[in-house]
């Protein structure tokens, strides 16, 4: 019997995502000027106010207020009627030094002996139902909001759009876990009240979403996915009828409150740890990236159609407590999931320092992860520019070439095929 599965996403202007982007931008700036910085930065945003809190260990100084305002401006909160605006919002910083009790477990004389920054379990997941090895419902949900943001910022269409938005997609699957069709699309997008009649406003938004946004989203998909868009999709566009009040004025935002949006949309599993604002010594982040890297390469190599990878750590301990693999009965090799896990442990070094080195995680690569998901993104090399006030008030500028989303690379496929005797 067929079944339905749903995933959601939120825009870069959603309050929780504003908080994530601020936290990760602060992290990037610390790493740009001191790659060994230890950062755990939490952000709260509400009406006209930003609160920064957390623990920092670094040899550099950065202007967190300027960084915060720049991010808010980039997202699009630039009008006073939003009740949260880049130039006028208050910013309170309560950042302080990292606990020595935590640091002693991480920093070791030999970098290879670096311990995990905390205990916990982390999961990575991949499926071959999309070209980026992500769950389909989440992939479409992200793309709806990416297109919406591009139209809002770069187009003369839908000029009434405001930054806050949420999407949700429900997919119908058959008995063999293959997607049949898109059942439902939900989109709530913040907007100006361009007409006194709420029905006129809602009707225009519904029309524009179906005629402008959805065709652009469909164009991004493969032919197989495009065929899932049919005339029977149920649409719920701004189902409350009005969404003028939004952003931090409508809903307080916090770092790390969208962990399912950040990962796999409810598919696979999640260990509970958030990512944004944390440097890679925190295995909540680095090991989650490492397990995604493993899962994606396993699926791409043909080991299975769907793979879940778990790794766990004890704080201050170098070696992981264990590695777990679940192929959900889709394995294409003559091995049990436990035997697959033993091979994975030999191929991938999961010590915290080795993960940092392999995935180049000590670089300032994190602001880009903080909206539209940390997984399933495009691996690319870019040049990023950072500024800080140096001695005598002079501005120090640093341009750094960094590789983004290294955990999305399919660079272990050949080694996996060789290890598993896959032709």
Residue 96 counted as an annotated binding residue: no
Q: Is 243 labelled a binding residue?
A: yes
Q: Rounded distance, CA 164 to CA 17, Å?
A: 10
Query: Which of the two residues, 391 and 60, has the higher pLDDT score?
Result: 60
The phi and psi torsions of 300 (rounded to 5 degrees) equal: -65, -30
Beta pairing, strands 120-127 & 161-173 = unpaired
- The C-alpha angle 379, 365, 91, rounded to 5 degrees, equals 140
% helix, strand, coil for the chain, step of 5: 35, 25, 35
346-379 pLDDT, tens digit per residue, is: 999 999 999 999 999 999 999 999 999 999 999 9
Where exactly does CATH 3.30.300.10 map onto the chain? 3-8+136-246, 120-127+282-420
- pLDDT single digits (tens) 17-26: 999 999 999 9
Predicted confidence (pLDDT) at residue 150 exceeds the cutoff of 80: yes
Task: Name the burial class of residue 207, with classes exposed (0-12), middle (13-18) and buried (19+) by CB atoms within 10 angstroms of its CB.
Answer: exposed
Has 164 been labeled as part of a binding site?
A: yes
* DSSP code string of 305-320: SEEEEEEEE-BT-SS-
**Known binder of ligand: residue 14?**
yes
* pLDDT tens digits, one per residue of 310-335: 999 999 999 999 999 999 999 999 99
- Any idea which architecture 3-8+136-246 has in CATH? 2-Layer Sandwich (3.30)
Q: Which two tokens stand for residue 8?
A: 């959601």
pLDDT of residue 113: 66
pLDDT of res. 102: 55
337-347 and 413-420 helices cross at what angle (nearest 10)?
130
List, for residues 263-302, the tens digit of each pLDDT value.
Answer: 999 999 999 999 999 999 999 999 999 999 999 999 999 9
Query: Which residue is listed with tokens 């566009």?
Result: 237
Annotated binding-site residue? 8: no
Judged against a pLDDT cut of 80, whether residue 195 lies above it is answered with yes
Residue 42 annotated in ligand binding: yes
Whether 98 has a binding-site annotation, put simply, is: yes
Q: Is 207 known to sit in a ligand binding site? A: no
Is pLDDT of 100 > 80? no
**165 annotated as a binding-site residue:** yes
Q: Is 371 annotated as a binding residue?
A: no
pLDDT for res 155: 81
Is 362 known as a binding-site position? no
Q: Is 258 annotated as a binding residue?
A: yes
CA distance 82 to 33: 34
Neighbours of 251 (CB within 10 A): 14
pLDDT in tens, 159-169: 999 999 999 99
229-242 b/e with 16+ CB inside 10 Å = b? beeebeeebbeeee
Q: 351 vs 105, which has greater pLDDT?
A: 351
**CA–CA dist 311, 191 (Å, integer):** 43
Answer whether CATH 3.40.50.300 is correct for domain 120-127+282-420.
Answer: no
In sequence order, what DSSP letters do the residues of 190-227 get, joined into one string? EE---SS-HHHHHHHHHHHIIIIIHHHHHHHS-HHHHT
Does 49 have pLDDT greater than 70?
A: yes
């Amino acid at each position: 019997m067929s079944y339905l599965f749903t995933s959601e996403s939120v825009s870069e202007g959603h309050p929780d995502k504003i908080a994530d982007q601020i936290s990760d931008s602060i992290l990037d700036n610390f790493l740009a000027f001191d790659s060994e910085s230890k950062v755990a930065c939490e952000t709260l945003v509400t009406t006209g106010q930003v609160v920064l809190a957390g623990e920092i260990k670094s040899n550099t100084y950065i202007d967190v207020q300027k960084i915060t305002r720049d991010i808010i401006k980039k997202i699009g909160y630039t009008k006073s009627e939003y009740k949260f605006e880049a130039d006028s919002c208050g910013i309170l910083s309560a950042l302080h030094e990292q606990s020595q009790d935590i640091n002693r477990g991480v920093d070791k004389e030999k970098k290879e002996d670096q311990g995990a920054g905390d205990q916990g379990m982390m999961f990575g997941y991949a499926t071959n139902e999309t070209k980026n090895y992500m769950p389909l419902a989440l992939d479409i949900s992200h793309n709806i909001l990416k297109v919406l943001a591009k139209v809002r910022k770069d187009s003369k269409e839908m000029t009434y759009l405001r930054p806050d938005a949420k999407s949700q997609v429900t997919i119908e699957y058959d008995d063999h876990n293959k997607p049949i069709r898109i059942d439902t699309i939900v989109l709530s997008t913040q907007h100006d009240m361009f007409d006194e009649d709420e029905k006129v406003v809602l009707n225009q938004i519904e029309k524009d979403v179906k005629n402008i946004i959805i065709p652009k989203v469909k164009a991004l998909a493969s032919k197989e996915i495009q065929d899932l868009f049919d005339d029977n999709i149920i649409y719920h566009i701004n189902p409350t009828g009005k969404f003028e009040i939004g952003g931090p004025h409508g809903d307080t935002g916090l770092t790390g409150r969208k962990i399912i949006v950040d990962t796999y949309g409810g598919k696979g599993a999640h260990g509970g740890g958030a990512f944004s604002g944390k440097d890679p010594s925190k295995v909540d982040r680095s090991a989650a990236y490492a397990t995604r890297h493993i899962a994606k390469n396993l699926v791409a190599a043909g080991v299975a159609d769907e793979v879940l990878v778990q790794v766990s750590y004890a704080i201050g301990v170098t070696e992981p407590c264990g590695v777990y693999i679940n192929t959900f009965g889709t394995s294409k090799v003559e091995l049990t999931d436990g035997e697959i896990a033993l091979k994975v442990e030999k191929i991938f070094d999961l010590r915290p320092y080795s993960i940092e080195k392999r995935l180049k995680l000590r670089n300032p690569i994190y602001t880009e992860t903080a909206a539209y998901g940390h997984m399933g993104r495009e691996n690319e090399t870019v040049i990023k520019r950072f500024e800080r006030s140096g001695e005598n008030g002079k501005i120090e500028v640093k341009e750094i070439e960094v590789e983004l989303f290294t955990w999305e690379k399919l660079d272990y496929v050949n080694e996996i095929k060789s290890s598993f005797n896959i032709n």
